[in-house]
Amino acid sequence: MRQVAVIGLGRFGAAVARTLTEQGVEVVAVDLQKEKIEDIKDYVAVAVALDSMDEKALRSIGMEQVDAAIVCIGENVQSNLLSTTLLKKMGVKNIYARAVNPLQEEILRALEITKIIKLEEEMGESVGKTLSSPNIQVSMKLATGHTMAEIKVPKEFWGKTLKELNMRKRYDINVVAIKKLIPSVNDQGQKVFKETINDLPQADDVIEETDLLIVVGKEESINLVSNHK
């Protein structure tokens, strides 16, 4: 079984970790924040809270032996670059790292890693596809070759639970979160909607008409669901 390290467990990193696990990959999840480790530990093979800029700490969990590492750290550019450099130094052959600006991308390119993940650019490339399918709100390519998309709920799904829909088996896609609009009344007495995100959906969660599903899977599978009547 392939072993892949996912470093940085923000929304993007957590989605990558879960998708890899669903695809039968042994995932080693790493983040400095213990609460993020707690959130992911039941979904991956190994989840460890440590500083990815600490070589000794990385070696203590056998990081140099993984088949690939994906550095998903976004805003902390220093942590991203130093973590990537350490992985390179330790001999990890396949390294994927996220870049959030041109200078960071240039430095990562100089490190000669396997692939630079540019979410903003890949999001831009997907705009045409998004517009061609009105039920897809936004989509992005993941390092795994899969796509993450936010889609409107097809009418056939209204009122059904995730267990009843069985989207993993029927469409080969995973629901990683549900975005809900909760009605309320503001100080002016107007009806407004508050957006909430359930990022740990359960089998008995009921899908409602106004929900948006955040899913991960093959692009063609997502298109099939989004175009469902």
Alpha helices in 46-159 (DSSP H): 55-60, 77-89, 102-110, 119-125, 127-132
Residues 151-177, mean pLDDT to the nearest whole number: 92
Q: What is the pLDDT of residue 12?
A: 83
Alpha helices in the chain (DSSP H): 11-22, 34-40, 55-60, 77-89, 102-110, 119-125, 127-132, 162-165, 167-171, 219-226
Dig out the tokens for 119 from the structure: 């979410």
Q: CA 160 to CA 228: how far, in whole Å? A: 15
Select the highest-mean-pLDDT range: 14-23, 56-65, 147-156, 176-185. 56-65
| CATH 3.40.50.720 boundaries in the chain | 3-117
Q: Is the pLDDT confidence value at 144 over 90?
A: no
pLDDT in tens, 13-39: 888 888 888 878 899 999 999 999 999
Q: Is 155 helix (H, G, I), strand (E, B) or coil?
A: helix
| CATH 3.30.70.1450 boundaries in the chain | 123-226
Q: What is the pLDDT of residue 121?
A: 53
Smallest Cα–Cα separation from 29: which of 196, 156, 38? 38
Q: What is the pLDDT of residue 181?
A: 80
pLDDT in tens, 51-71: 999 999 999 999 999 999 999
Q: Which range (19-28, 107-116, 174-183, 186-195) has the least confidence?
A: 186-195
Third-level CATH fold of 3-117: Rossmann fold (3.40.50)
Q: What is the pLDDT of residue 20?
A: 87
Q: Is 137 helix (H, G, I), strand (E, B) or coil?
A: strand
pLDDT in tens, 72-93: 997 788 999 999 999 999 999 8
Question: In this structure, are residues 53 and 86 in contact, taking their beta carbons and an 8 Å threshold?
Answer: yes
Q: What is the pTM of this model?
A: 0.56
pLDDT in tens, 95-132: 999 888 888 888 888 888 988 887 655 544 444 444 44
Could you say which of 3.40.50.1100, 3.30.70.1450, 3.40.50.300, 3.40.50.12140 is the CATH number of the domain covering 123-226?
3.30.70.1450
Q: What is the pLDDT of residue 125?
A: 46
* Mean pLDDT of all residues belonging to the chain: 85
Q: What is the pLDDT of residue 124?
A: 43
Smallest Cα–Cα separation from 95: which of 77, 78, 74, 80? 80
